[in-house]
Amino acid sequence: MNESRLLFETAVLKRYFANKFLFTIDGRKEVLLVGVKSQSGNIYQIRIELSEIYPIEMPTAFIVYPKGLKTFKGKKLPAFSHEMHILENDAKGVQICHFVPGNWNPNQSLYKVVLKVKIWIESYEGHLKNGKSINDYLQC
């Protein structure tokens, strides 16, 4: 990410997630780590991976903490699920579908990605209470 974009993203994130985010490098990838608290008080860590051409290419977003997220029935979340808006579920974490790829454009911000993942988290916690799919909450 170029320096001016990094300054922009950092300023926006500082405003809403002060002291709860970190930009770092993991191998060849730039990564944004963000800690969020759900409405019910649970803590989650979001990992957003940026490609070398971000913001042209959409970033990927994972829930990396807590590990081993379960379904309403106590089973491991599926590896892929349209109804649950999950693209992968592996050792890296649960990859969340946060944007339809065709709707991504370079004007989107990491702040918006974090917000969409936070909405997923709130929907997930609703799923844990009543078994409804995340799609039922998001109406996509």
- pLDDT tens string 72-93: 999 999 999 999 999 999 999 9
Q: Is the pLDDT of residue 39 over 60?
A: yes
Between CA 61 and CA 74 the distance in angstroms is: 23
What does the pLDDT read at residue 138? 86
What does the pLDDT read at residue 28? 87
Decide: 138 and 84 in contact? Cβ < 8 Å: no
CA 30 to chain CA centroid, nearest Å: 15
Q: Is the pLDDT of residue 140 over 70?
A: no
Q: Which residues contact 39 (CB under 8 A, 6 or more apart)?
A: 122, 125
Decide: 68 and 105 in contact? Cβ < 8 Å: no
Tell me: the pLDDT tens digits for 93-136? 999 999 998 999 999 999 999 999 999 999 999 999 999 999 99
What does the pLDDT read at residue 88? 95
